[in-house]
């Protein structure tokens, strides 16, 4: 995984079930393209879209996701929901976060064993609902949206999840200082460059297996594994509900309802159990969590 990589245009990739992968040297956004092509029936379920750079990459709530060329991974995978209840679809991002974090943790462990890793950054961990951090610094974001794939014949459109992923792989964390957020990269964590093609192949293969298991067993088997990797259960935090903040107003909290308190647990359905400072205990299904 720490080997040199081929030119981006020569990468050998496929989506789920040998669905095609489309590589673009530059895109406005892999997420925007996938959403548009899924709803018009131009792509098949399982399709993978990868960009070497994005000109308008975005995370949750339209926050900027910097996408320098030739350094990181920016991709979308179209996940079919056959056999998965729509109510359970949001849990797919939690499964993806855990699966990806386990891969990154393996890279960190290998680098540390070789004496290359930067242990001062802390451990790779997950933060509810689907963030991946090293210590408290984010390096992987996941954005998912429900789309309906237009059929090729006259039938009912099928639901799917367009999952967009941005991973800071070989960039330098100092380049993200202007974002005013704690950010790191896999290169900083591991102390060496990483072969992006091999990493993406592993991530897609592991995710496809995990989605098959999720389809059969739901979220519950993943909760125990999540708790083993989560370093924030028991810590104080702030839940931000109905959050419409952007990079520009995130400090002011405009458009957000904030509640501070203690993170009690992640429950069997993937929700967060949170004790507010006023003593009330809330079950949170959708929100941002700040540590």
Q: What is the mean predicted confidence (pLDDT) over 119-128?
A: 94
pLDDT in tens, 53-101: 988 656 555 455 567 889 999 999 999 999 999 999 999 999 999 999 9
Q: What is the pLDDT of residue 263?
A: 96
- The CATH number for 85's domain is 3.30.930.10
Residues 161 and 181 in one domain: yes
Q: What is the mean predicted confidence (pLDDT) over 266-283?
A: 95
Contact call for residues 139 and 167 (beta carbons, < 8 A): yes
Residues 264 and 194 in one domain: no
29-38, 106-115, 252-261: the lowest-pLDDT one:
252-261
Give the C-alpha separation, 279 to 236, whole Å: 13
Residues 243 and 196 in one domain: no
DSSP string, 200-263: HHHHHHHHHHHHHHHHHH-SHHHHHHHHHH-S-TTSEEEEEES----TTTTTTTTT-EEEEEEE
Question: Is 190 a member of any domain?
Answer: yes
Please give the tally of structural domains in the chain.
Answer: 2
Residues 108 and 248 in one domain: no
Q: What residues make up the domain containing 240? A: 232-290
């Amino acid at each position: 995984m720490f080997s040199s990589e081929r030119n981006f245009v020569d990468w050998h990739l496929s989506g789920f079930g040998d669905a095609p992968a489309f590589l673009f040297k530059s895109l406005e956004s892999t997420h925007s393209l996938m959403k548009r092509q899924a709803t018009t029936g131009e792509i098949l379920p399982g399709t993978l879209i990868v960009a070497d750079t994005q000109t308008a990459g975005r995370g949750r709530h339209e926050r900027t996701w910097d996408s320098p060329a030739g350094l990181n991974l920016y991709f979308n995978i179209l996940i079919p929901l056959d056999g998965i209840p729509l109510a359970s679809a949001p849990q797919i991002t939690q499964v993806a976060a855990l699966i990806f974090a386990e891969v990154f943790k393996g890279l960190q462990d290998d680098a540390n064993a070789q004496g290359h890793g930067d242990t001062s950054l802390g451990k790779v961990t997950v933060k509810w609902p689907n963030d991946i951090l090293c210590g408290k610094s984010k390096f992987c974001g996941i954005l998912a949206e429900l789309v309906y794939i237009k059929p090729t014949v006259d039938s009912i459109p099928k639901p799917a999840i367009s999952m967009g992923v941005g991973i800071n792989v070989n960039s330098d964390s100092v380049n993200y200082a202007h974002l005013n957020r704690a950010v790191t990269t896999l290169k900083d964590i591991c102390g060496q460059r990483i072969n992006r093609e091999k990493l993406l192949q592993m991530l897609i293969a592991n995710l496809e297996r995990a989605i098959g298991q999720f389809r059969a067993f739901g979220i519950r088997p993943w909760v125990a594994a999540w708790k083993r990797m989560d370093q924030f259960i028991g810590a104080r935090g702030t839940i931000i509900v109905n959050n419409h903040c952007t990079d520009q107003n995130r400090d002011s909290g405009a458009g957000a309802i904030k509640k501070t308190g203690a993170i009690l647990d992640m429950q069997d359905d993937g929700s967060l159990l949170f004790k507010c400072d006023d003593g009330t205990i809330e079950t949170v299904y959708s929100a941002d969590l700040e540590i």
